Structures are given as C-alpha cells and as structure tokens.
Amino acid sequence: MDMHELTRSLQVKNKAKIVMLVGDGLGGLPMEAGGKTELETAVTPNLDRLAKNGVQGASIPVKPGIAPGSGPGHLGLFGYDPLKYQIGRGALEATGIGFELQDGDVAIRCNFCTLDADGNISDRRAGRIPTEESAPIAISLRQIKIDGIEIFVEPVKEHRFVVVFRGPGLGGEVNDTDPQATGVPPLEPVARDSGSKKTVEVAKEFLRQAKEILKDQPKANFHTMRGFAAKPALPTFDDVYGLRAAAVAVYPMYKGLARLVGMDIVGNAQTLEEQMEVLKQNWDDYDFFFLHYKYTDSTGEDGNFAEKVKRTEDLDAAIPKIEALKPEVLIVTGDHSTPAYLKSHSWHPVPTLLVSDCCRPDPHDSFSESTCITGGLGQFEAKYLMLLALSNAERMGKYGA
C-alpha cells in the first residue's frame, strides 16, 4: 500500500481548515562561523509566539544531501513523493508561465540559438537576446501549421520560449536537440520509446518550418528543443486527501504546480497583504489553503542577507491575519532552504512549525533552524507533512483494527 492508498482509505470528512504558509527558501545559514541565520536574525514575534503552542522540526525536501528545485520541493510539501512524481522541464516551464496543460499535451522548453553559415551553433542562447527582442520572434512561430496538431508558442524570458503540441498519440519521451556545445549542429529529435515517435515527426516538421521563418534573424536564427514532457499524471488533493484545496500565490509557476495537483487558483493577489485578503474572501469555500511567499527565496538567491531578514519579518507580520480566521491547523515551512551565504537552493533541512489544538508542543518558545533541530517533529521527509496536517485536523481515521 502506498501513501496515497493509505490516505484514501483513512479519509475523514469534517469542517477543519488547514493553512500551509510556504516561505519559499525559508531556511538559511550564518554568513560567518558562529553567526546567526536569516531566520534567527529576523525579529519574528508571531512565529515565536506560535512556537510556544506548536511543534517544530526540520523537513527534508527530497533526500538528505539533495538540493531540490521548486517542483520537487513543492510536490514533497503537497505529499507527493518527488522521486516518484517527476514533472518534466517542459511541463514545468509551461506551468510556470500559467499555461494550462491538458492530458495528451507535450510541452517543450525551447532556446533561441545562433547558427553560423555552416549550420553550426555559434551561440546556444542567441547572445542572451533580451526579452523585448525575443518575444516577437517567438510569436512569429505561431504561423507554423502541422496537420492534425494544435500548436501553442509562448514567450518566456530572454532566449527561452515554450512550445506545446496538442493532438492524439503524442508522448513526451524525446531527447533534447541541444548538443550542449558550440561549433556543432543542433541534434535531431530522437524518441526514447515507441509512444513518442509521432512527437518526433511533429518536432522535426516544426523545426523545419521554424528554420525558414527565422533564417534572416541576426541573432535568433534557429532554436533548440529541450525537456520534452507530457502533462504529469498526478492524483488530486480531493482524491487522495478528501480536501477542497485552494492556492493563493503571486508567481505563475507556483500557481501551476498547485493546479497540477488539483488545487483551485483563487484571487489575483500581487502582494502578501492582498494574499491575506484573498484568503479571507475564500475561507468558507475550501478545506486547505496553500499560501506561497516568494521573497524569502529570491533574496537568498541574490545573496542579500539583510533583505532576506526583512522579507522574513514581513512574512511574520502577516501571521495574525491568518490566525484571525482560526484555522484548525497552521503550518509554516519552506519548500527548500536558500541561504544568502550560498546564493542558491541548498540541501539543508527546512524549518517547519505546526500548530493545532491537538499537537504535542515541544519546549521551544522561538522558531529557527537551531530550535528545529531539537523540535518535537525531529527531521522528517517533507512528503509526510500532509499526514501530520490531516491528523492534526482530525481528518485521518485509525489504521487497522
């Protein structure tokens, strides 16, 4: 019996509300030995107050020592084993710009490139062509027509754009056409299984027409195709947990990830304050709310310790508005750590705090990486967090006689 079979069999319906507040990249590191992390430096009276009544620990997004991307990091939080449920790069890119994939779609992440007179790649990213130049060029590829196939072309940023093929009999198991080198021609698309042979033929025809359309472009006179991916087959929150779930997020990627697991995307908030208002407006209609906050991650990736501290304090200041709605379970966590010291996602376990009327509080009266090490939840794989959320909401029955 896998974990989702277990949750299906133990579902209990009630009116309990669960809020998962995700501070993206929440965990950090000191900038020098013996110093404090961003979370330890930040003044967080609300998190510290919650810690007195809650239980905390450190979640491992994938496996010890593995730094996750946003996709695996969030899938783990949502209770999906990130090693079992993998989202291909093309699907993630399409999802990230808000494109709603359908069953049978194949999404491809494409890079404009520059070919020399001999047809070899001289620049794999077309000189990192700026978005204002590349977007109209990507849109020009919408004139490509292939019998029996619906084609979508969407600009992304700089040299990147997304292509989605829609039609019967398409598979996503196709090798990249980017040789990862200059001075050589692009590769031909090659199927890795028999179910993707039609996709290869469609891709070849798309590339043939694209080369003709782009031939006079000074920079982006061709493109490579990477990360071919079908829409992932993920069971929904309603199916596996019996929860009506809503996502309140600003960035398209996180809306897309939530949509892939069957959450409704509610509101169009652009700030944390607006997100709190959207939460309040939709409170009566859902059982589970995923609140995503990006800026604890982006400031870490920028290596800006002081700004990550400030953004952490902003996150803390929003908590009373969540508490005012009286959720039965409130979880504060991150999808991974993004220490400013490293300027990147890292493998470090993520501070996690759970508060409910029936949790078993640990002795801590503050919330940080150092308290999480000895918190009552211990270190655990993130994919089990939803089990804890459900049980604390009294939405899980007893297993066995």
Residue-wise pLDDT tens digits, 15-46: 999 999 999 999 999 999 999 999 999 999 99
What is each CA distance from 201 to 89, 116, 195, 258, 343, in whole angstroms? 20, 25, 12, 32, 41
Band of pLDDT at residue 97, cut at 50, 70 and 90: confident
The domain locations on the chain are 3-86+234-392, 92-230
pLDDT at residue 398 tops 90: yes
Over residues 116-132, the pLDDT tens digits come to: 999 999 999 999 999 99
pLDDT of residue 380: 98
For 120-125, the CB contacts below 8 A with 24+ separation are 120/182, 120/183, 120/184, 120/185, 121/179, 121/181, 121/182, 121/183, 121/184, 121/185, 121/186, 121/224, 122/182, 122/183, 123/182, 123/219, 124/178, 124/180, 124/181, 124/182, 124/224, 125/158, 125/159
Band of pLDDT at residue 96, cut at 50, 70 and 90: confident
Average pLDDT, integer, range 137-144: 98
Average pLDDT, integer, range 336-357: 98
**How many DSSP H helices and E strands does the chain contain?**
14, 13
Q: Are 80 and 62 in contact (CB under 8 A)?
A: no
Average pLDDT, integer, range 189-196: 96
Average pLDDT, integer, range 338-348: 97
pLDDT at residue 95 tops 90: no
Average pLDDT, integer, range 224-253: 94
Q: Are 238 and 93 in contact (CB under 8 A)?
A: no
* Position 119, amino acid: G
Q: Are 10 and 323 in contact (CB under 8 A)?
A: no
Over residues 142-174, the pLDDT tens digits come to: 999 999 999 999 999 999 999 999 999 999 999
For domain 3-86+234-392, the CATH superfamily is Alkaline Phosphatase, subunit A (3.40.720.10)
Nearest to 318 by CA among 300, 338, 293, 344: 293
Average pLDDT, integer, range 200-205: 98
Q: Please provide the DSSP assignment of 134-180 as one string.
A: HHHHHHHGGG--BTTBEEEEEEEETTEEEEEEESTT--S-B--S--S
pLDDT of residue 108: 97
pTM, entire model:
0.88
pLDDT of residue 238: 97
**Distance between CA atoms of residues 354 and 143, nearest Å:** 52
Average pLDDT, integer, range 372-376: 97
pLDDT of residue 312: 98
pLDDT at residue 302 tops 90: yes
Supply the mean pLDDT for the chain.
Answer: 96
**Distance between CA atoms of residues 203 and 190, nearest Å:** 10
State the Cα angle at 314 between 313 and 315, rounded to 5°.
Answer: 90
CB atoms within 10 A of CB 309: 23
* 3-state SS class at 79: coil
